[in-house]
Amino acid sequence: MTNSGSVFVCLALIAAFSLGLSSAQNCGCASRGLCCSKFGYCGTGNDYCGEGCREGPCYSSPGGGGSGSGSGSVSNIVTDSFFNGIANQAGPSCEGKGFYTRNSFLEAAKSYPKFGTTGTADDIKREIAAFFAHITHETGHLCYIREINGASGDYCDENNRQYPCAPGKMYYGRGPIQLSWNYNYGPAGQSIGFDGLNNPDIVATNNIISFKTALWFWMNNCHSCLISGQGFGCTIRAINGPLECNGANSATVTKRVEYYTKYCQQLGVNPGNNLRC
């Protein structure tokens, strides 16, 4: 072996040793709410939490080389016990009984990889607790698919030219977060892949699409509230602010906060500040 060959081998061994040392030194991220990347470094985002993620709030099951669906870590938090603890409180005659399932929720969550995977471990748990607090309130523990007496109003904003109402269609609340109004059905359908203006009732008949509409609304209006530290009160304002916040309906706000704090307790996380709106 020539001298140059020996030098090359030595350098390769040093590099390999250094990489292994870095990996050993930089893993152990989960306790800080960070992902350990496939190269052994701590951080957030797709480079750390995506393919090859070893530990922490990975977008897929740690070490699984997943596609970044978000369902792996979310499913670890939204267990059968947690989900069914909510759904089982709905009476046997509820239309949502058997419609809202944990499997349909997890399948829908695959389309929203940043849901329940962003921020610290506490941020993640707070977001999931907040989401389920609201859908618990909106649906009566996953009992209602359609808004009570919703058909008494068409929820059509005729001034909205971008998403014009289809003749004879009604845009009352449907689904886990009670999606309402043509200006929500239209863009939700475009994003998810259904005709929200001409076929709004699919939100009440397809359980995966139903959960997707709730997650679509959440990611566009509520997600940043928890991640930015604005608190649970910000999510109430985003969902039903004019009707509940600033003293409009303090009893309803209190009920939402009670669900949220209960779920935070179940998930072992402090609910944080700014709970009311």
pLDDT band of residue 46 (cuts 50, 70, 90) is: low
Phi-psi region of 274 (alpha: psi -120 to 50; beta: other; left: phi over 0): left
- Evaluate if residue 23 carries a pLDDT over 90: no
pLDDT tens track for 82-123: 999 999 999 999 999 999 999 999 999 999 999 999 999 999
pLDDT band of residue 58 (cuts 50, 70, 90) is: low
Catalytic annotation present for 138? yes
CATH superfamily of 150-205: Endochitinase, domain 2 (3.30.20.10)
What was the pLDDT predicted at 201?
97
Cβ count within 10 A of residue 148: 11
What was the pLDDT predicted at 50?
67
Q: Which two tokens stand for residue 221?
A: 């209006």
What was the pLDDT predicted at 108?
97
Mean pLDDT of the chain: 84
What was the pLDDT predicted at 160?
97
pLDDT tens track for 196-225: 999 999 999 999 999 999 999 999 999 999
What was the pLDDT predicted at 175?
98
The reported pTM is 0.75
Find the catalytic residue in 138, 147, 244, 258.
138
What was the pLDDT predicted at 196?
97
From-to residues of CATH 3.30.20.10 in the chain: 150-205
